[in-house]
Amino acid sequence: MKKALLLATFTLLLSGCTRELVEKVYPVNYAPTNRFAKNLAPLPGQFTKDTAALDRLIQSFSGQVKQRWGNDNVLMASKRHYVKYTDGYQSRAHVDFDKGVVTIETVATTNPKQHLIDAIATTLLTPADPAEVDLYSAQDFALSGSPFLLGQILDQDGKSIEWSWRAKRFAEYLVNNKLKTKDVRFQKAYYVDIPMVADHVSKRSYKYADIVREASRRYGIKEDLIYAIIKTESSFNPYAVSPANAYGLMQVVPKTAGADVFKLVKKRSGQPSPQYLFDPAKNIDTGTAYFYLLQNRYLKEIRNPLSLHYSMISAYNGGTGGVLSTFDRNRKRAMQDLNQLKPNQVYWALTNKHPKGEARRYLEKVTRYQKDFNNGKI
């Protein structure tokens, strides 16, 4: 943690940064069902997880990928990237939510075009429910329910893809007209790139409108903030997972925010399992409930509503301690100093002097996405 600034020095810095200041922004079932979740999830009431089992799982999975794709061509799921291997690790799908591109490829050596057609159809029909898909294996899964990418990809006729016949027909069209090749390891890979529709983020966000509205009503947290957090954390990817063991749309960490919500809001022991947090409704409820705790418990001493708003956003990423240490090492003195500042000065401090660079950028992103939401861009 960086050395705290003395109040006099801090005030002097703020007085000279008028151009840096910004304007005001505003006008249960816990049983895991796949192998990945089982290795991550604690038993009901158990606070810790089997990290050794998780490490073994990831190592085994990575080893399988390397055998097929080589050491330099390993892709794994993350916050903004959906990656799923199928066909005995011979084929994989990669959805890049930042670029809006879906890449499906295969290194199968026998009848590779048919393997690619099957992989494309499977990707287009992947279910929207993350509980149905194990991201850390090449296991098959049922192609049932509403597809995850429904409305985000259009076929050669400009039609949305919901049924198997349309998915297969589009897959065949792509292989016959858009096929590409590249060298992977000592073999040839066949692949296609599929552009997502321009408003793919909005298409995903619409799916959660009712859930967001209900969570906002239940906990008294503004809808634009919930949307902005989801956009920042996962780009509305319900399969999102991070190396920090954060899961789902709002990237909730089970042993910290999740455990706090269970104990202080839900009045139950333990912590949510990853499978619980992969459920969009439960994830949004948990993430929003944590904002309720930030607002009404951890940061309740902040008097100005807008200063509180900025501090809540920063704390969601970098913790309450990170917010306060921006102002002083001593919590009481930090709160006093924070309350002496105007909201735009609090914003400047949190985006310029927070001990963690990620937290500084995080507040900027979320407030920008809030503006986008209120301008109809999300």
Residues 157-166: tens digit of each pLDDT: 999 999 999 9
Domains and CATH numbers, the chain: 67-197 (no CATH), 201-375 (1.10.530.10)
More confident residue, 55 or 271: 271
What would the DSSP string read from start to end of 128-189? S-GGG--TTS-------SSBTTTTTSB-TTS-B--SHHHHHHHHHHHHHHS-EEEEETTEEE
Q: Are the beta carbons of 293 and 261 closer than 8 angstroms?
A: yes
* Total-model pTM: 0.82
Residues 338-370: tens digit of each pLDDT: 999 999 999 999 999 999 999 999 999 999 999
More confident residue, 129 or 46: 129
% of the chain beyond a pLDDT of 90:
77
- CA neighbours within 13 Å on the CB side: how many for 358? 8
Q: Residue 255: is its pLDDT beyond 70?
A: yes
For the record, the structure tokens of 68 come out as 């097929």
DSSP code, position 190:
E
Q: Residue 284: is its pLDDT beyond 70?
A: yes
Cα angle 139, 231, 145 (rounded to 5 degrees) comes to 40
Tally DSSP H helices, then E strands, for the chain. Answer: 15, 5
Q: Are the beta carbons of 205 and 236 closer than 8 angstroms?
A: yes
From the list 360, 366, 233, 363, the residue with the least C-alpha distance to 287 is 233
Residues 33-45: tens digit of each pLDDT: 344 444 444 433 3
